[in-house]
Structure 1
Amino acid sequence: MATYVILANFTDKGIHDAKDTINRADKFKAMAANASVTVKHMYWTIGRFDAVSICEAPDDESATAFSLSVSARGSIRTQTLRAFSLDEMTRILGKMV
């Protein structure tokens, strides 16, 4: 499974309904499970992003479809980053010419 960091910002709708963020997080996890994505960690943050999630997905397409599905609900905008473990990065560096 590949690892992804999903950065999220509340939309106007999302901040208006901020008190519902815990319930939305539960829905986020349920949507993830239905998309073959596992939410490993979820954090609410201070700064440039309002939330950060660490997820695992079988491939880039699944992770992207999940992020798009979440954003389409209108409460957050997402930015998804592919993250590489130490072992993955070691293999990548080993392929450098």
Structure 2
Amino acid sequence: MPKYMIQASYTAEGLQGILREGASGRRQAVDAMVSSLGGRVEQMYWAFGEDDVYLVVDMPSNADSAALHLTVCAAGGVRTKTVVLLTTEEIDEAARKQVEYRAPGT
């Protein structure tokens, strides 16, 4: 199952929700949302700085990951960035592929 790292930054409105329900309430909501798409939250970390939360999730497909992103961002309480995570084996497989490529200007 593909793995993703989701970086989330709460809006002021979203942070008000965190203050009301706490981090554990948000974790339960995130677990339920990801599970509803057939995924699993591997880990959820809270952080200081530009991003408030880092999630590592397994999702069935890119479409499921995109559905999660669209739904969460449309609600307005948080902005997310998603990074597709690849295994060592996937990079080894990619490295063995022959790619026709011409660099710009050559």
* TM-score of the two chains, using structure 2 as the length reference: 0.82
1:95 and 1:30, CA in 2 relative to 1: closer, same or farther beyond 3 A?
Answer: same
Structure ranking higher in strand proportion: 1
Cα distance in 2 for partners of 1:71, 1:95 equals: 36
Q: Hey, what does 2:103 align to over in structure 1?
A: none
Deviations 1:20-69 (A, max 9, x none): 23212211110110111211110001122100000111111111101222
Cα distance in 2 for partners of 1:81, 1:58 equals: 15
Q: Show the 5 A alignment for 1:1-97.
A: 1-19=1-19, 20=21, 21-97=23-99
Unaligned segments of structure 2, at least 5 residues? 100-106
Unaligned segments of structure 1, at least 5 residues? none
1:96 and 1:41, CA in 2 relative to 1: closer, same or farther beyond 3 A?
Answer: farther
User: 2:24 is aligned with what amino acid?
Assistant: I
Cα distance in 2 for partners of 1:96, 1:44 equals: 41
The number of residue pairs the alignment matches comes to 97
Q: Is the 8 A contact 1:28 1:70 kept in 2?
A: no
Cα distance in 1 for partners of 2:69, 2:30 equals: 10
Larger Rg: 2
Cα distance in 2 for partners of 1:25, 1:76 equals: 14
Percent identity, please: 28
